[in-house]
Structure 1
Amino acid sequence: MNQHFATTAETTDQTAATPQDVVRLVDLKRRFGATPALDGVSLTVRKDEILGIIGRSGAGKSTLIRCLNGLERPDSGAVFIEGREISRLGERDLQPLRRRIGMIFQHFNLLSAKTVEDNVALPLKIEGRPRAERLQRAAELLDLVGLSEKAKAYPASLSGGQKQRVGIARALAARPAMLLSDEATSALDPETTRSILALLKDINRQLGLTILLITHEMEVIRSIADCVAVIDAGRIVEEGPVWSVFADPRSDITRSLLGAIRPQLPADLAARLVPSAGTETILRVDVAGEAARGPLLSDLAVAVPGSFRLVHGGIDHIQQQPVGTLFLAVPGSDAGHLAHVITFLKARQARVEVLGHVANSA
């Protein structure tokens, strides 16, 4: 597992970076009046990986992007792009470094008066490349994103998904070191979103390209990211491999963001829960990795005599790792039996939470 987030004791000296670091932020701070937009953010995006940064609106994502591409200067801290600190550079020196980051936008930002191939070739035109070279590169990239037949079309004739594919091709034109995806699928329907995410994953594998995803959608992170960082009020509050964070979210904001896609207790049963003892106690059991691979419930039945039942849940796979959430009902009349069930599950590296009790059998 890569460690993405540096301590504040780290120096901003370039020697602290490694050749695998495409982007490195060190103790980045930016305030607007009395409000801290970034409050000590340190992170590293390494070559070939897909890192997702997720947070609610106002969490600091937009300011982070603007510091990355040099549009915003931090109050303190450092921004390294491929080992070079950019936060104090002038506009002329920033331009070549900005080309090392390809941007994919939520609303595509295509030029309506230009053809698809000319939109894709635009970064190369800005660089002053010959037209023949620009068009050859555009043709290669349109083939990569599956839109060769649309080269002479105009953006108005394209669907949303096709426009985003053009945007991805344009972002790749100058052969960047990293793609920065800013809510790139937020304006798309679910089916189109899946196809765009599959394309980004394919580009990551084929080209060995680093991708930084900025999003508020956990499903986007789940689909393609290797690691995830959760930002809240300008701070990184949680980070790690996607499967690990999904299996055992530690912060309240992460649990809230995951609420829509993690298994939840059925509403009819949740409505019957009471805080005091009843005939059954409902447990939420979260397991991942090795704990989720074995016959957990069969072993529980053998090791802890007495009844329990599975009321909801199952095992999913994220990044080829099993991640499970099980809801168990344990008879509430025997406190000793309940304690033994919980002790056994925790010994198997499961995270156990008592959700409440039901007075009548569910």
Structure 2
Amino acid sequence: MNQHSPLPLARSTPSRLSATESSATDAVVRLVDVRRRFGETPALDGVSLTIHKGEVLGLIGRSGAGKSTLIRCLNGLERPDSGEVFIEGREIARLRERQLQPLRRRIGMIFQHFNLLSAKTVEANVALPLKIAGVPKSERLRRAGELLDLVGLAEKRNQFPNQLSGGQKQRVGIARALAAKPALLLSDEATSALDPETTQSILALLKDINRQLGLTILLITHEMEVVRSVADRVAVIEGGRIVEEGAVWHVFAQPQSAVTRRLLSTIRPQLPESLANMLSADGPGDALLRVDVAGDTARGSLIGDLARETGLGVQLVHGGIDTIQDEPVGTLFLRLEGSDAGALQRATQFLQRRGAQMEVLGHVADHA
């Protein structure tokens, strides 16, 4: 298999039920009011979350938000103080270590720094989980060969990790995580140590695996671009709480929490500094608006309709429309002729009818 090309945007899955609407029947992971404290610090503070069979969920948050503790609760390395953790319908939070071992084989894990054994070949690294499980040598080598072909490294089977690039090491890590045919793949910042081109190649591989195998994937990351590229849904964690959750395109289009807006600031259009320096809080001058649009609102001729229906001059000064999960999503910075209350009211009413979110950023002098 050749190196993967950059991944097209994830397809929308409108038929998939939300976590609150779904029954537990298709849930690979279900957390119910999970709490975990370290001393006086709440690492998880009432987390409820569902990951459905076959979906890719991106869990995003800043350092210290609770992502690592959540992963450790999923694979049984941490015990929650309260709440329930279900994996494929089985509550695991109170299981003994011996009872957890077969369950852990249902969970594959890929790591930021690969965690390969330097003294073992690529093939032996991939086959290691099967060796630990007692699988006969011929079977585990056959499985390792299949997986190395899947990740595009069949010709590297006899090499050692120090002979591989970072991206190739991560492909070996992915193959190893798939060895025991897991129901859930956990990706813990798996691309944050890679360059952008290699990152896109690894994300494309994960999406291919999701499509080919129907594998459920939880992506733990602090990068919105990773979520944008491969996830079906996104959950934002902050201070041990899920503060926002939904389809990727919808959350990107209309983020509700302050932390989500901060995380998105690196990939959503921002007002250029040259324009920001020209703004004043009050008139005189033209109003400068930030307008967030998505779906049908972004498909129409919004700017022309706004000008025609309000009788105002409207100029696009920055921004544009992107496509996420086959849905148009955009941020437009519009200069609106006139700063009087009547003009702004007409514009606001029009944009509200169209389902757009609008913010008045300030005013620009007429001559600017």
TM range (shorter): over 0.9
**What is the CA-CA distance between 1:271 and the residue it aligns to?**
1.6
Q: CA-to-partner distance for each residue in 1:246-268, whole Å, 9 max, x for gaps?
A: 00000000000000000111110
Aligned to 1:50: 56
Write the mapping of 1:148-163 to structure 2, written as runs, cut at 5 A: 148-163=154-169
**What is the CA-CA distance between 1:17 and the residue it aligns to?**
5.7
Aligned to 1:264: 270
Q: Distance in 2 between matches of 1:5 and 1:111?
A: 41
2:293 to 284, 287, 293: 287
**What is the CA-CA distance between 1:297 and the residue it aligns to?**
1.2
Does the aligned pair in 2 maintain the 1:277–1:332 contact within 8 Å? no
What RMSD over aligned residues (CA atoms) do the two structures have, in Å? 1.2
Does the aligned pair in 1 maintain the 2:73–2:85 contact within 8 Å? yes
Q: Distance in 2 between matches of 1:125 and 1:159?
A: 25
Counterpart residue type for residue 141 of structure 2: L
**What is the CA-CA distance between 1:335 and the residue it aligns to?**
2.9
Counterpart residue type for residue 179 of structure 2: A
Q: CA-to-partner distance for each residue in 1:328-356, whole Å, 9 max, x for gaps?
A: 01123443222212211111000000111
Q: Distance in 2 between matches of 1:46 and 1:98?
A: 18
Q: Distance in 2 between matches of 1:139 and 1:361?
A: 68
Write the mapping of 1:283-322 to structure 2, written as runs, cut at 5 A: 283-322=289-328
Does the aligned pair in 1 maintain the 2:321–2:331 contact within 8 Å? yes
Query: Is 2:8 the partner of 1:2?
Result: no
Aligned to 1:10: none
Aligned partner of residue 204 in structure 2, secondary structure: helix
Aligned to 1:9: none
Aligned to 1:59: 65
1:339 to 345, 350, 360: 345
2:126 to 98, 102, 120: 120
Q: CA-to-partner distance for each residue in 1:259-296, whole Å, 9 max, x for gaps?
A: 00001111100122121113111100000011111111
Aligned partner of residue 283 in structure 2, secondary structure: coil
Aligned partner of residue 192 in structure 2, secondary structure: coil
Q: Distance in 2 between matches of 1:130 and 1:230?
A: 42
**What is the CA-CA distance between 1:75 and the residue it aligns to?**
0.2
Q: Distance in 2 between matches of 1:120 and 1:25?
A: 30
1:23 to 16, 24, 29: 29
Does the aligned pair in 2 maintain the 1:17–1:83 contact within 8 Å? no
Write the mapping of 1:92-131 to structure 2, written as runs, cut at 5 A: 92-131=98-137
Q: TM-score, normalised by structure 1?
A: 0.95
Q: CA-to-partner distance for each residue in 1:124-162, whole Å, 9 max, x for gaps?
A: 001000111011000000000000000000000000000
Unaligned runs of 5+ in 2: 1-15
Q: CA-to-partner distance for each residue in 1:97-117, whole Å, 9 max, x for gaps?
A: 011110010000000000000
Counterpart residue type for residue 280 of structure 2: V
Counterpart residue type for residue 155 of structure 1: P
**What is the CA-CA distance between 1:5 and the residue it aligns to?**
5.0
Does the aligned pair in 1 maintain the 2:44–2:70 contact within 8 Å? yes
Aligned partner of residue 329 in structure 1, secondary structure: strand
Counterpart residue type for residue 156 of structure 1: N
Q: TM-score, normalised by structure 2?
A: 0.94
Aligned to 1:216: 222
Q: Distance in 1 between matches of 2:32 and 2:339?
A: 55
Write the mapping of 1:124-273 to structure 2, written as runs, cut at 5 A: 124-273=130-279
Q: CA-to-partner distance for each residue in 1:198-227, whole Å, 9 max, x for gaps?
A: 000000000000000000000000000000
**What is the CA-CA distance between 1:361 and the residue it aligns to?**
3.8
Q: How many residues align?
A: 353
Counterpart residue type for residue 61 of structure 1: K
- Structure with bigger RCO (C-alpha 8 Å, 6+ apart): 2
Q: Distance in 2 between matches of 1:95 and 1:278?
A: 69
Choose 274-283 or 71-80, whichever is displaced more: 274-283
Query: Is 2:46 the partner of 1:40?
Result: yes
Does the aligned pair in 2 maintain the 1:5–1:42 contact within 8 Å? no
Q: Distance in 2 between matches of 1:186 and 1:26?
A: 29
Aligned partner of residue 80 in structure 1, secondary structure: strand
Counterpart residue type for residue 154 of structure 1: F
Aligned partner of residue 25 in structure 1, secondary structure: strand
Aligned to 1:71: 77
Q: Distance in 2 between matches of 1:34 and 1:273?
A: 44
Aligned to 1:11: none
Q: Distance in 1 between matches of 2:348 and 2:24?
A: 44
